C-alpha cells in the first residue's frame, strides 16, 4: 500500500485538477448546448476561486458556505452581464465574453485585496477527493436529467434554430440566460474547489489562455454529450504530464493533437457511435 | 377569430404591406393567395411576432398581439410552419414533437433535478401525446428516427405534427406544398383536411391557385401588398382583377 | 512631455494597426478568427533575427524575407488546416480552435529551438541615430517603423480599392457564394489573403522586435489580445476601421501608461470594448461586413 500513498502524494494535485476541469468543461458544454459560444467561464471560475479564498482567509467561513458563495457570486455577475450580452450571437458573443474575461482578470490583477499579480497564498486546503467526486457526480446527474427534460430539449432546439424554437413557445432569451448563469455556477464552484485544493491562486490561471484551454477540452472531447467534455478535460490535463519526457517540445505535440482532432474527428474523440463501431458492436439505430 | 386591421409594413422606404384588413375564423380552412412577392409571408411574420407592424393591429379573440414576442404569440394559440421547412434535424421525430409541447408539460425548470412524480408522469403523458400526434400524420413508426433522414414530404408532415403539439387554435401554413411532387401534394392536401376536421383552424398561404381552390372555404387575394379580392374560391376565381394579377405573372408558375 | 508620448503612441499604434490588418483580413475574407496570428507574428520576428545572424542580410532585406516566410506560414495554415474545414462546412468555432492548436505548436517549437530567454538583434543592426526637436527625441528606428507600417498599409489600401483583385476580395467578404457564382476564383483568393495576412503579421513582428529589441517565443500573446481589441473597436472585417482603431489603441495604451497605472489602462480599454460590443457590435467605425451564408 506504500506505493499507493506515494502515488497519491505525487499525483493527487493532478487528479484534483482533472476533476475540477471536468466540472468547468461541463459548464462550457452547457452554454454550447444552448448554442452560445461563451469565453467567460474562465473568468467565472476565477471569481469563484477568489471569492471563496477571500471568505476562507479573511472571514473564516466554513468550507461548505464558501463553496456556495463560490457558485453564487459568478452567477450574480452572469445574470447582470448576461441580459445585455446574450443579444449578441456567434463570434460577437465570443468576443464580448472574451473582453469581459480580460476585464475580470485585470481587475483581479490590480486590486489590493486579491493580492495583485502575486495572488493569494495560504488558502486552507479543505478540498478532499470526495468533495470533487460528489460535486462532479451531482452535476453530471443533474445535467443528464436536464437533457432529458423539456429544458434540455429547448436548449437543443435553440441551438439548431432559434426562430423555430421561439415559435414552439420557448422563451429563447430566458433559456439562454439560464444556461449562461448555470454555467457560471458550475465554473464558480470548480474555482472554489480548485482554490482550496492548491493552496495558492493567481490571476494567471483565469485569463484568456485558460478560457481557450477549457473550450478546447470540450471540443476535443466532443460536445454531443456529457462524457465527451469530461474525457477531454481528463486527457488534456494529463497530456502535458504524460509528455514530460519530450521536455520543451511537448507543447508541439499538444498543439498537433488538437489540430488533428479538429481535422479528423469533427465530433471529438468521444463519439459513442464510432466507438461502438470500432469494437464491432455496430450502431444502435440506423 | 384572428382580426387584422389596416395592417401596414415598411422596410425603410419600401412599402411591403398597406392597409390590409381581414378576419380569419378559428375553424375551417382559410387561404391567403397572391403572386410571389405579394407580401404573404410578411403577413405571417407580423402575426407571429417575428416582425413588428408599422401600422395597424392584429388581435386574437379581441386580444391585441402588439408587442408580444413570438413565444408569447405561440402560447396564445397560434402555431406556424415555414415555407422552407425548419424542423430540428439533429433530433428524433419524437423529440421534435416534444419540443412543440414545451409550454404544455406541467413542470418547472427545477422539475427534472428532483425525483418527482409530477415530472415523470408529465414526461410519460407528453410522449404518449407526441406519438398520437405523429400517428395523425402517419409517422409514428419512425418516432425514434433522426428528422434529417425523412423525405421532403414527410419532413413537412413532421412540421405539422410539431406545430399541432403547441395546441394551437389557429395553424398558419406557409406554402405547405412548395417544392412537392404531385403525389406528395395530394397526401399533404389530405393531411390538411384531416387537421381541419379535428377542429383546428387552418390559415394557409399559397400561390398555387388550383391547390387552394380545392381546399379553402374562403380566400383573400394579396397583390403588391394590398388586398385585391376576398370571397369564396368561386368568386375569387372569376374576379377580373385576380385573373389580371395572375395572368400578368404567368411565368412564375402561379397557375401550375 | 506630451509630444514625446504622442510620438511613442504613433509608433506603437501603427504596428498594432499593421498587425490587426492581417487579423481583420482573415476575418473579413475567410470568416475565421485566426488565433494563430500572434504566433505568425512571433515567427516573423525570429525569421528576421535568423536572417540577420546567419546570412548577415541588411535589415530591409531581412524584413522582406521574414514577410515571405510568415506569408508562406499563413498560406500553409490555410491549405493544410482551414481549407479542409471549409470543405466540410465546419461551424466557425472549429477553425478558431484549430488555429489555437497552431499557435500552441508554433510557440512551443520556438521555445524548444531558441529557448525561453529573450533574444536580441546583434549590436549595430538597429540604427542608433537620434534626432532632437526641442525636447522631443526621435529615434531613427521609430521613423523607420512608422514609415514602413504606413507604407505597407497604403499599398494594401490602394490595391484593395483600385485593382480587380481588391474588388474580388470585397465581393468575397460580402458573400463567398455569390462571388463564386460571379466566376471569382474564391479558393485562390483565400490563399492569397492567407499569404498577405501572414506577411503583414510577420512584418509587425519584425517591427516590434526592432522597436523593443526583444524577441521571445511568447511575444505573440499580448499582441494577439491587442489585435482582438482592434478588430472589435474597428468593426470586425473593416479594414479602415482597424487602422483607426490600431492607432487609437496605441494612443490609449501609451497615455494610460503615462498618466494612469499601466494595468488599469488595460482594464479601461477592455471594459470599453465590452461596452462597445453591447452598444455597437459592428464597431465604432463603419459598418460590419455581415456575411450572408
Q: Residue ranges per domain, chain B? A: 1-74+208-256
A contacts of C115 (beta carbons < 8 Å):
248
Q: How far apart (Å, rounded) are the C-alpha atoms in residues A248 and A251?
A: 7
Q: Name the strands in the sheet holding B55-60, side by side, starting at the edge strand that comes first in the sequence.
A: B14-24, B2-11, B55-60, B63-64
pLDDT cut 70: percent of chain C above it = 90
Residue C288 predicted with pLDDT over 50:
no
β-strand pairing of B218-223 with B201-206: unpaired
**Quick check: helix, strand or coil at residue B32?**
strand
Which chains have 3 or more CB–CB distances shorter than 8 Å to chain C? A
Is C154 inside any structural domain?
Answer: yes
Contact A106 C263 (CB under 8 A): yes
pLDDT digits (tens, 9 = 90+) for C54-76: 998 888 899 999 999 999 999 99
Q: What is the average pLDDT across C176-192? A: 86
**Which of B50, B99, B166 has its CB closest to that of A154?**
B99
Lowest mean pLDDT segment, chosen from A212-216, B68-72, B86-90, C32-36: A212-216
Residues contacting B27, CB < 8 A, separation 6+ = B196, B199, B201
Contact A103 C278 (CB under 8 A): no
Helical ranges in chain C per DSSP H: 2-25, 37-55, 59-77, 83-87, 93-114, 140-162, 164-174, 176-181, 186-212, 220-234, 239-259, 262-279
State how far residue A10 is from chain B, nearest Cα, in angstroms: 37
Mutate to test the interface with B, among A32, A149, A266 (most CBs of B within 10 A): A149
Contact A219 C94 (CB under 8 A): yes
Cβ A110 vs Cβ A116: under 8 Å = yes
Greatest Cα-to-Cα distance within chain C, rounded to the nearest angstrom: 61
State how far residue A167 is from chain B, nearest Cα, in angstroms: 5
pLDDT band at C280 (very low <50, low <70, confident <90, very high): low
Contact C274 A254 (CB under 8 A): no
Q: What is the average pLDDT across C220-228? A: 86
The pLDDT of residue A278: 67
Mutate to test the interface with A, among C270, C275, C276, C284 (most CBs of A within 10 A): C270
Is A169 inside any structural domain?
Answer: yes
The pLDDT of residue A286: 35
Which chains have 3 or more CB–CB distances shorter than 8 Å to chain B? A
Q: Does C151 touch chain A (CB under 8 A)?
A: no
Chains C+A touching (3+ CB pairs under 8 Å): yes
Contact B98 A171 (CB under 8 A): no
**Which of B86, B88, B166 has its CB closest to that of A169?**
B166
**Quick check: helix, strand or coil at residue B17?**
strand
Q: Does A209 touch chain B (CB under 8 A)?
A: no
Q: How far apart (Å, rounded) are the C-alpha atoms in residues A265 and A246?
A: 25
**Which of A99, A249, A255 has its CB closest to that of C232?**
A99
Q: Does C40 touch chain A (CB under 8 A)?
A: no
Residues contacting B109, CB < 8 A, separation 6+ = A151, A178
pLDDT digits (tens, 9 = 90+) for A137-157: 999 999 998 888 889 999 999
Cβ C217 vs Cβ C110: under 8 Å = yes
The pLDDT of residue C291: 38
| Number of domains composing chain A | 1
Contact A258 C109 (CB under 8 A): no
Lowest mean pLDDT segment, chosen from A239-253, B36-50, C19-33, C261-275: C261-275
Is C140 inside any structural domain?
Answer: yes
State how far residue A212 is from chain C, nearest Cα, in angstroms: 8
Contact C106 A255 (CB under 8 A): yes
- Looking at 3.40.50.300, 3.90.1150.10, 3.40.50.10890, 1.20.1730.10, the CATH number of the domain B1-74+208-256 comes to 3.40.50.300
C133 alpha carbon, distance to own chain's centre: 31
State how far residue B14 is from chain A, nearest Cα, in angstroms: 24
Considering A41-55, B13-27, C230-244, the range whose residues carry the highest mean pLDDT is A41-55
Q: Does A245 touch chain C (CB under 8 A)?
A: no
pLDDT band at C93 (very low <50, low <70, confident <90, very high): confident
Segments in chain B below pLDDT 50: 251-256
Residue C87 predicted with pLDDT over 80:
yes
The pLDDT of residue B255: 42
Cβ-based burial of A173 (10 A; exposed 0-12, middle 13-18, buried ≥19): middle
Is C230 inside any structural domain?
Answer: no
pLDDT band at A166 (very low <50, low <70, confident <90, very high): very high
Is C91 inside any structural domain?
Answer: yes
CA atoms within 13 A of residue C3's CA, in its CB half-sphere: 7
Cβ C72 vs Cβ C185: under 8 Å = no
The pLDDT of residue A280: 63
Q: What is the domain extent for residue C81?
A: 2-218
Q: Does A144 touch chain C (CB under 8 A)?
A: no
Among all residues of chain C, which has the CA nearest to that of A84? C278
A contacts of C221 (beta carbons < 8 Å):
209
Higher pLDDT, residue C95 or A271:
C95
B contacts of A167 (beta carbons < 8 Å):
48, 50, 70-71, 74, 79-80
Chains B+C touching (3+ CB pairs under 8 Å): no
Is C278 inside any structural domain?
Answer: no
pLDDT cut 90: percent of chain A above it = 44
Among all residues of chain A, which has the CA nearest to that of C97? A216
Contact A142 B86 (CB under 8 A): no
Dihedral of CA A40/A45/A50/A51: which sign? positive
Question: What is the distance between the terminal CA atoms of chain A, rounded to a whole angstrom?
Answer: 49
Taking each helix axis from N to C terminus, what angle separates C220-234 and C262-279, rounded to the nearest 10 degrees?
40
The pLDDT of residue C293: 30
A contacts of C81 (beta carbons < 8 Å):
259, 262-263
Contact A153 B95 (CB under 8 A): yes
Lowest mean pLDDT segment, chosen from A38-47, A258-267, B196-205, C74-83: A258-267
Contact B100 A168 (CB under 8 A): yes
B contacts of A146 (beta carbons < 8 Å):
112-113
Q: What is the domain extent for residue A225?
A: 13-278
Picking from A226, A139, A231, the residue whose alpha carbon sits closest to that of residue A185 is: A139
Contact C270 A215 (CB under 8 A): no
Residue C289 predicted with pLDDT over 50:
no
The pLDDT of residue C174: 79
Mutate to test the interface with C, among A97, A106, A261 (most CBs of C within 10 A): A106
State how far residue C258 is from chain A, nearest Cα, in angstroms: 17
Q: How far apart (Å, rounded) are the C-alpha atoms in residues A179 and C112?
A: 41
The pLDDT of residue A285: 41
pLDDT cut 70: percent of chain A above it = 94
Is C212 inside any structural domain?
Answer: yes
Considering A95-99, A277-281, C274-278, the range whose residues carry the highest mean pLDDT is A95-99
| Number of domains composing chain C | 1
State how far residue A43 is from chain C, nearest Cα, in angstroms: 14
Amino acid at each position: 500500500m506504500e506505493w499507493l500513498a506515494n502515488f497519491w502524494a505525487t499525483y493527487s494535485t493532478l487528479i484534483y485538477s482533472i476533476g475540477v476541469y471536468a466540472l468547468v468543461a461541463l459548464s462550457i458544454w452547457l452554454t454550447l448546448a444552448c448554442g452560445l459560444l461563451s469565453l467567460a467561464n474562465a473568468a467565472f471560475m476565477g471569481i469563484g476561486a477568489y471569492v471563496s479564498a477571500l471568505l476562507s482567509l479573511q472571514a473564516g467561513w466554513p468550507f461548505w458556505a464558501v463553496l456556495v458563495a463560490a457558485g453564487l457570486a459568478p452567477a450574480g455577475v452572469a445574470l447582470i452581464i448576461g441580459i445585455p450580452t446574450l443579444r449578441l450571437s456567434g463570434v460577437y458573443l465570443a468576443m464580448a465574453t472574451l473582453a469581459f474575461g480580460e476585464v475580470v482578470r485585470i481587475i483581479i490583477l490590480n486590486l489590493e485585496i486579491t493580492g495583485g499579480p502575486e495572488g493569494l497564498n495560504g488558502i486552507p486546503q479543505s478540498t478532499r477527493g470526495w468533495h470533487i467526486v460528489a460535486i462532479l457526480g451531482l452535476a453530471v446527474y443533474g445535467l443528464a436529467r436536464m437533457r432529458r427534460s423539456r429544458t434540455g430539449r429547448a436548449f437543443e432546439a435553440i441551438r439548431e434554430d432559434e426562430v423555430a424554437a421561439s415559435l414552439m413557445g420557448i422563451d429563447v432569451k430566458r433559456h439562454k440566460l439560464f444556461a449562461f448563469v448555470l454555467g457560471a455556477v458550475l465554473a464558480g464552484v470548480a474555482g472554489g474547489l480548485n482554490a482550496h485544493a492548491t493552496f495558492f491562486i493567481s490571476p494567471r490561471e483565469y485569463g484568456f489562455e485558460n478560457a481557450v484551454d477549457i473550450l478546447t477540452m470540450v471540443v476535443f472531447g466532443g460536445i454531443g454529450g456529457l462524457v465527451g467534455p469530461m474525457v477531454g478535460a481528463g486527457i488534456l490535463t494529463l497530456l502535458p504530464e504524460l509528455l514530460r519526457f519530450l521536455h520543451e517540445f511537448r507543447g508541439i505535440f499538444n498543439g498537433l493533437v488538437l489540430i488533428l482532432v479538429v481535422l479528423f474527428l469533427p465530433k471529438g474523440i468521444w463519439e459513442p457511435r464510432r466507438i461502438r463501431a470500432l469494437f464491432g458492436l455496430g450502431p444502435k439505430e440506423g | 377569430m384572428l382580426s387584422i386591421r389596416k395592417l401596414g409594413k415598411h422596410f425603410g422606404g419600401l412599402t411591403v404591406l398597406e392597409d390590409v384588413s381581414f378576419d380569419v375564423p378559428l375553424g375551417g380552412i382559410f387561404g391567403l393567395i397572391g403572386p410571389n412577392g405579394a407580401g404573404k409571408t410578411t403577413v405571417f411574420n407580423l402575426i407571429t411576432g417575428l416582425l413588428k407592424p408599422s401600422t395597424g393591429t392584429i388581435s386574437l379573440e379581441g386580444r391585441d398581439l402588439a408587442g408580444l414576442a413570438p413565444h408569447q404569440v405561440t402560447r396564445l394559440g397560434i402555431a406556424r410552419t415555414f415555407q422552407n421547412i425548419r424542423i430540428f434535424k439533429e433530433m428524433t421525430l419524437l423529440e421534435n414533437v416534444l419540443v412543440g409541447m414545451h409550454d404544455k408539460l406541467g413542470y418547472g425548470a427545477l422539475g427534472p433535478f428532483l425525483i418527482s412524480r409530477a415530472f415523470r408522469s408529465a414526461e410519460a403523458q407528453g410522449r404518449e401525446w407526441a406519438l398520437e400526434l405523429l400517428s395523425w400524420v402517419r409517422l409514428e413508426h419512425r418516432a425514434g428516427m433522426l428528422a434529417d433522414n425523412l423525405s421532403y414530404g414527410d419532413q413537412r408532415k413532421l412540421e405539422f405534427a410539431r406545430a399541432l403539439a403547441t395546441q394551437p387554435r389557429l395553424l398558419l401554413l406557409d406554402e405547405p406544398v412548395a417544392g412537392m411532387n404531385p403525389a406528395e401534394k395530394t397526401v399533404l392536401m389530405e393531411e390538411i383536411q384531416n387537421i381541419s376536421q379535428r377542429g383546428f383552424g387552418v390559415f394557409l398561404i399559397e400561390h398555387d391557385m388550383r391547390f387552394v381552390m380545392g381546399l379553402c372555404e374562403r380566400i383573400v387575394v394579396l397583390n403588391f401588398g394590398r388586398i385585391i379580392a376576398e370571397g369564396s374560391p368561386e368568386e375569387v376565381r372569376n374576379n377580373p382583377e385576380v385573373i389580371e394579377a395572375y395572368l400578368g405573372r404567368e411565368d412564375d408558375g402561379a397557375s401550375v | 512631455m506630451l509630444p514625446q508620448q504622442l510620438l511613442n503612441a504613433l509608433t506603437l499604434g501603427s504596428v498594432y494597426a499593421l498587425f490587426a490588418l492581417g487579423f481583420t483580413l482573415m476575418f473579413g475574407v475567410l470568416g475565421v478568427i485566426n488565433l494563430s496570428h500572434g504566433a505568425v507574428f512571433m515567427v516573423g520576428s525570429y525569421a528576421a533575427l535568423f536572417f540577420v545572424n546567419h546570412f548577415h542580410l541588411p535589415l530591409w532585406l531581412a524584413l522582406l524575407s521574414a514577410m515571405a516566410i510568415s506569408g508562406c506560414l499563413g498560406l500553409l495554415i490555410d491549405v493544410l488546416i482551414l481549407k479542409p474545414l471549409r470543405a466540410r462546412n465546419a461551424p466557425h468555432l472549429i477553425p478558431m480552435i484549430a488555429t489555437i492548436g497552431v499557435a500552441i505548436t508554433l510557440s512551443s517549437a520556438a521555445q524548444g529551438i531558441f529557448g525561453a530567454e529573450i533574444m536580441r538583434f546583434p549590436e549595430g543592426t538597429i540604427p542608433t541615430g537620434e534626432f532632437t526637436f526641442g525636447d522631443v527625441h526621435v529615434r531613427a528606428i521609430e521613423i523607420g517603423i512608422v514609415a514602413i507600417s504606413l507604407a505597407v498599409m497604403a499599398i494594401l489600401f490602394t490595391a484593395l480599392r483600385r485593382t480587380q483583385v481588391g474588388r474580388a476580395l470585397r465581393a468575397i467578404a460580402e458573400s463567398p457564394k455569390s462571388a463564386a457564382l460571379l466566376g471569382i476564383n474564391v479558393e485562390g483568393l483565400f490563399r492569397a489573403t492567407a499569404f498577405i495576412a501572414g506577411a503583414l503579421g510577420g512584418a509587425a513582428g519584425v517591427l516590434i522586435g526592432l522597436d523593443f529589441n526583444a524577441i521571445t517565443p511568447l511575444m505573440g500573446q499580448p499582441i494577439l489580445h491587442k489585435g482582438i481589441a482592434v478588430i472589435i473597436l474597428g468593426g470586425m472585417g473593416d479594414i479602415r476601421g482597424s487602422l483607426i482603431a490600431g492607432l487609437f489603441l496605441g494612443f490609449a495604451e501609451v497615455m494610460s501608461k503615462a498618466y494612469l497605472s499601466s494595468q488599469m489602462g488595460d482594464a479601461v480599454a477592455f471594459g470599453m470594448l465590452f461596452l462597445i460590443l453591447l452598444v455597437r457590435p459592428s464597431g465604432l467605425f463603419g459598418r460590419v461586413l455581415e456575411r450572408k451564408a
